[in-house]
Chain A
Amino acid sequence: MPTSPAWPAARLHVVTGKGGTGKTTVAAALALALAHGGRRVLLVEVEERQGIAQLFDTPPLPYEERRVAVAQGGGEVRALAIDVEAALLEYLEMFYNLKRAGRALRRMGAVDFATAIAPGLRDVLLTGKIKEAVTRQVKGARAYDAVVVDAPPTGRIARFLAVTEHVAGLAKGGPIKTQSDGVMAVLRSSQTAIHIVTVLEDMPVQETADAIAELRRIGLPVGSILVNMARQPLLPLNAMARAATGRLDSTAIAASLSHAGLDGESLAGPLLLEAADHAQGWQAQLACRARLKELNRLTYELPELQGPIDTGSLYELADVLTRAGIR
């Protein structure tokens, strides 16, 4: 594993990945790891699923930055679930001093229009809010040392991040254009690193490769690959190939099982089937790891944890990242 991150300047960490790869869990663990040693980190959720609240076992997050965890060495993770409608009203107030007009707009169905019917606007608001958090200053200092975003899945990530640019392309001038340019400047800079979460299976690995290619094509900075739920080998490595193809000696296994006080005769068959499954999975993992290596990105690996994921699991995973040199 690498010992130092390749994105020393990154302050905005965008975490994407195929659905089902544990993107939210990894984003939360990354936020905890980055908070290690007394730093302030904001963890942002954009899909209104309240996944962060569930992970940290807190009530649903309102649209405000709330402390959800304390990291080792006095650091802290705050979380923000962006509510699109609230973000729009905030935006109107902040840039146009239009708070009351905002309320009137809502009555007219304009907010509905902006957040639901003109779907691109939604992503503009979300990325705009993220940029605001990244660049926010409090008393001359950065409000946050790092911002981690639990972003949309790989299939949608390029569209999500580049939406502002599309809008900027539409608006030849005016405030939206200025605003969009500001967002894209942050996203394209070395301040940003887009990390891709994957598991060691064919389709997620393929999507990881596709996402990296697409992000590079549109000039967005790819960070690292975060492999989640890597399974540990439970069989001796030199027995994997035979186990996978059902070539282990079932008579000898049955004898050993009986020796241990079990019904070896009837158990050997079923256990060998389960071992074959395990070994095939292990071999498939190896093949996926090899394909990821070809992508030539800094790669971190997180182990599969047994049992349901809770707040304790997050610290466990954060610890793995810290030990791998993420800070």
Chain B
Amino acid sequence: MTAGSSPPLDLAALIADPDTRIIVCCGAGGVGKTTMSAALALAAAQAGRQVVVMTIDPARRLAQSLGLERLDNTPRDVPAAAELTAASGGHLQAMMLDMKRTFDEIVEAHSEPARARQILENPFYQALSSSFAGTQEYMAMEKLGQLRETGNWDLIVVDTPPSRSALDFLDAPHRMSRFLDGTMIRLLSAPGRAGGRVYLKVVGAGLAIFGRIINKILGGQLLKDVSHFVGALDTMFGGFRQRAQATYDLLRQPGTAFLVVAAPEPDALREASYFVDRLSSDQMPLAGLVLNRVHPSTAPGLSAGRAEGAAENLSPGNSRNDVLAASLLLVHAQRSRTDAQEQRLARRFASAHPDVALRSVPAAAQDVHDLDALRQIGAHLTTPVPPLRKTKTRAKRASVRPTA
């Protein structure tokens, strides 16, 4: 039976392969994507790679588990990892995307100092660069391109923003082009350059009506700020578009691997399906799916129903040990049902995406607090792919077990 059994995902081989240069982790929020990125980066450094992991808005705890008080826009050594990576000659650095800082740097790098200052002080720019949704995706793309350009690392692991818009960065170059080649930019930049009748000449009488509409909606002052901003950015936008396109192309190269992370829950897997479809329609290289926090049963031979029956036989009025044993059986019954449901969800995903390689990572009872916990997750991620026989056994077992 092939339906429902996915090819195994060999992450050890992926991170050891010197041709793997970029790994992008994506998935719905709350599935452990950031932890996964950090664990994988650590495992790669342990395997001898020169690694930087770029996280996006990590929980403070993750920074702390890396032994860093905080992360910022510059890659920093993870001192605690040095001991683990020393033997292999690998190296781990970590950073957190600061979208405002990244945006500022682009402005500074691509404009005359006077003009750069003008842009940085523009109120519209300040709002756009620090507080608006969407900017993060563009800046993640930009930063990735920058990190790659320096050549300081032979592997870059990237975490993505926690939402469906995580894949918005794939649209960045396209949107940028549409924007730059469209009439909007002319409209928006025109009033900043000129006013009144000259404006009419610049945009043409046919477009003037839009200017009026926009003026009406935005109000004069805001329109002026926006158009000054767009006007000032005009020269820089071209380069921005080119770089976005270059990064997009880079992502499609074989040296890139996308990993979709999901929890064994219907919502998260639905999102995972969306990501998988989106990546394949953009011809992005998908390495596979990591099913995080699964709850495998340690006594798969004992069904939930039988466990409950036995528990009933033991209670009540019997010895303290019987009561305890009965409760253990109930714990098992619940675990076993969870396990069955998770496997069913995984099979369903596999039937819909038979070519997508899959690997499960068991849930830890406690959260990740330190580097050692990250190392353990990394070890789980990179355990050797089970030999074919074992895969078959699992599929067979799954197929004969009754559905709960």
Contacts and interface: CB of A to CB of B under 8 A. Distances in A.
Interface of A: 18-21, 24, 47-49, 51, 54, 92, 96, 98, 101, 104-105, 108-110, 112-113, 116-120, 122-123, 152-153, 155-156, 159-160, 162-163, 166-167, 169-177, 201-204, 206-207, 234-236, 239, 248-249, 252-253, 255-257, 259-262, 267, 269-278, 280-281, 284, 306-309
A101 B209 contact: yes
A206 B127 contact: no
A116 B222 contact: no
A189 to B, nearest CB: 22
B162 A19 contact: yes
Given A98-B213, A113-B179, A172 B321 contact: no
B121 interface: no
Nearest to A117: B179
A187 B72 CA distance: 32
Given A122-B133, A202-B61, A253 B175 contact: no
A315 to B, nearest CB: 18
Contacts of B326: 256, 260
A271 to B, nearest CB: 5
Contact of A173 (B123, B182, B221, B306): B221
Given A260-B311, A309-B266, 7 more contacts: A19-B30, A20-B265, A112-B178, A119-B135, A236-B327, A253-B321, A257-B310
A267 B334 contact: no
B298 to A, nearest CB: 4
Main secondary structure of the interface of A (DSSP, over half): helix
A171 B263 contact: no
10 contacts: A20-B268, A109-B179, A120-B133, A152-B163, A170-B124, A176-B218, A256-B322, A261-B310, A274-B335, A275-B331
Contact of B133 (A119, A236, A274): A119
A153 B163 contact: yes
The interface size bin for chain B is 35 or more
B16 interface: no
B75 interface: no
Q: Which of A51, A96, A171 has the most CB of B within 10 A?
A: A171
B324 interface: yes
B221 A18 contact: no
Given A19-B31, A175-B217, A278-B331, A170 B367 contact: no
Given A112-B178, A155-B162, A271-B329, A19 B29 contact: yes
Interface of B: 28-31, 57, 59-61, 123-124, 127-128, 131-135, 162-164, 171, 175, 178-179, 182-184, 209-210, 213-214, 216-222, 225, 263, 265-268, 270, 297-299, 302, 306, 310-311, 313-314, 318-319, 321-332, 334-335, 337, 341, 365-367, 404
B217 A176 contact: yes
A105 B266 CA distance: 39
Contacts of A118: 128, 132
A271 B329 CA distance: 7
Contact of A274 (B265, B297, B314): B297
Nearest to B215: A174
A125 B60 CA distance: 32
Contacts of B209: 101
A207 B216 CA distance: 40
Contact of B299 (A18, A249, A274): A274
A323 B214 CA distance: 51
A20 B60 contact: no
B124 A96 contact: no
Main secondary structure of the interface of B (DSSP, over half): helix
Contacts of A259: 314, 322, 325
A248 B127 CA distance: 59
Given A122-B134, A271-B331, A274-B332, A96 B184 contact: no
A101 to B, nearest CB: 6
A234 B327 contact: yes
B57 A155 contact: yes
Nearest to B345: A308
Contacts of A54: 270
Q: Which 6 A-B pairs have the closest CB atoms?
A: A19-B29, A174-B219, A20-B30, A119-B134, A19-B30, A256-B325
A234 B314 CA distance: 15
A176 B222 contact: yes
Nearest to B312: A260
Contacts, number: 231
A256 B133 contact: no
B341 A308 contact: yes
A277 B302 CA distance: 18
Contacts of B332: 271, 274
A159 B131 contact: yes
Contact of A171 (B29, B175, B218, B330): B218
Contacts of B323: 236
Contact of B213 (A18, A105, A166, A207): A105
A256 B163 CA distance: 49
Nearest to B266: A308
A15 to B, nearest CB: 15
Contacts of A270: 297-299
Nearest to B162: A19
Nearest to A252: B321
A124 B129 CA distance: 16
A257 B325 contact: yes
A73 B122 CA distance: 55
Contact of B127 (A169, A236, A272, A306): A169
A259 B321 CA distance: 11
A286 B134 CA distance: 37
Contacts of B268: 20
Q: Which of A122, A248, A267, A272 has the most CB of B within 10 A?
A: A267
A171 B30 contact: no
Contacts of B220: 173-174
Given A19-B28, A20-B31, A173-B221, A261 B313 contact: yes
Given A21-B30, A120-B133, A271-B329, A280 B366 contact: yes
A308 B322 CA distance: 32
A163 B331 contact: no
A155 to B, nearest CB: 6
Given A19-B31, A261-B313, A274-B331, A253 B325 contact: yes
Nearest to B135: A119
A235 B331 contact: yes
A235 B217 contact: no
A277 to B, nearest CB: 5
